[in-house]
Amino acid sequence: MHTFDSLLAQITPSAGPTRDITDPATGEVVGQAPIHTVADLDAAVKRAASAQSDWAALGHSTRSELMLAAADAIDASAEALAQLLTREQGKPLNGPNARFEVGGASGWLRAAASTPLDSQTVIDDGESHAVLHYRPIGVVGAIGPWNWPMMISVWQIAPALRMGNTVVVKPSEYTPLSVLALVTVMNEVLPGGVLQVVTGDREVGARLSSHPDIDKLMFTGSTATGKAIIRSSADTVKRLTLELGGNDAGIVLPDVDPAAIAQDLFWGAFINTGQTCAAMKRLYVHDSVYDAVVDELAAVAASMPMGVGTDENNVLGPLQNKSQFDIVSRLVEEARASGARVVMGGNPDADGPGYFYPTTLVADVNNDNALVQEEQFGPALPIIRYSDVDEALAMANGLDVGLGASVWSSDRDAAREVAAQVEAGTVWINSHGGVHPMIPFGGVKQSGYGLEFGVEGLKALGVPQVING
């Protein structure tokens, strides 16, 4: 079991170049992260390749036992991990935030360790006999984001380890400490070389995606970076799982009770202060309930305290970095200048510390507005009127992304009929953004490809082999 101080001390480099990591809520220095180089990455990949055959040879049962022990280690140091995550990423301890994320990291690790993946007899008719197996791929490179650094890293690490691969993780430059700490705790249980972290800049990331000894790459992040990874991985024909940008749509049908759905709408859009790939980024509401939905949503939003994450009362935090703060500010001001109505929010405090942007609802905004068309990735939700469901579907499907979406209705069957026409990898009914370790998750269009979670997620971290005869 670690305390915050002991965990931070353990991940602080004793030698070599470092850089300060600051708290996005206060500007205070949280700790120092090592500045790794391409040479460091090459050495980590070599160690991973050397360890992989022994790790695979342990078999599913033993690997699962070690993964469950690693989950126990995470749970034992959960509070220290949550405190570090709050101070580095900015998300509050409470609500669906830091403590929730650490719990999700151990939960997903347990799920991957416990999910069976049996060989499949595809034909056995007396003349032919063929069995489909899944073998380890080799060394997996995992590039994670800054919004859910621990949990998404585990989404990549857990199925890779379960299937007999070794893993080299590159965390976001904004949140390296959280991932360093997570891996440090897990490596108190796992064999040496099986799981490693390299913290570095884009040059390190580019080398990871083109490295000849990386056999599979998993990436969660922007569509633009995903496209660059596809290009740089082509020469080595790497297997890829890409979870890219979303700009998810929600469609509210005219039969809803606005008060009944307001809180779930709020968290669908504003979980992690809107900094979630599958958060609801644009909301289409039928004209007959539009004003009531806006009013009820505003009432819920006004009750949600935002502030420094270590304050136990807060459930919303700052934007994680200045770049994202500037994007949200620009999009809201452009919407305001176009004539859209800022129901609440906007106007961040320019004098206070931290990258706090107030919870913002923007009504009476046109669908072609930049706040609707671009993924804002922050606490600003555009709410668009519609009068016909076909019109709403056309607007929801009008972008080149399709990670998630939602349909809201008192008639679940009617909602499912609409959901079937939405172009997204997951469409939720009367909720938005919830994920489950046994339910496959992935995007369509330019939101990426490949599935994570459950049996399909395990298969994506293996090489299919048919033994015929």
Give me the half-sphere count of Cα atoms (radius 13 Å) on the Cβ side of residue 238: 28
Alpha helices in 406-460 (DSSP H): 412-419, 454-459
Q: Is 277 a catalytic residue?
A: yes
| DSSP string over 179-246 | HHHHHHHHTTTSPTTSEEE----HHHHHHHHH-TT--EEEEES-HHHHHHHHHHHGGGT-EEEEE---
Q: Which two tokens stand for residue 401?
A: 């992304």
Q: Is 333 a catalytic residue?
A: no
At residue 108, φ and ψ (nearest 5 deg) are -70, -35
User: Does the CA dihedral 308-311-317-319 come out positive or negative?
Assistant: positive
- What residues contact residue 56 under an 8 Å CB cut-off, 6+ apart? 136, 164, 165
**147, 449 contact by CB (below 8 A):** no
User: Does the CA dihedral 449-453-456-462 come out positive or negative?
Assistant: positive
**Distance, C-alpha 430 to centroid of its chain:** 21
Return the DSSP state at 306. Answer: B
Nearest to 213 by CA among 458, 101, 46: 46
Q: Which member of 277, 296, 423, 452 is catalytic?
A: 277
Q: Which two tokens stand for residue 169?
A: 């993780």
Which residue, chain included where needed, has tokens 């299937």? Answer: 163
SS percent in the chain: helix, strand, coil, step 5: 40, 20, 35
Whole-angstrom distance, CA of residue 361 vs CA of residue 34? 40
Q: Which member of 243, 296, 423, 452 is catalytic?
A: 243
Whole-angstrom distance, CA of residue 147 vs CA of residue 260? 29
Amino acid identity of 336?
R
Alpha helices in 222-343 (DSSP H): 223-233, 258-270, 290-302, 322-337
Active site residues: 243, 277
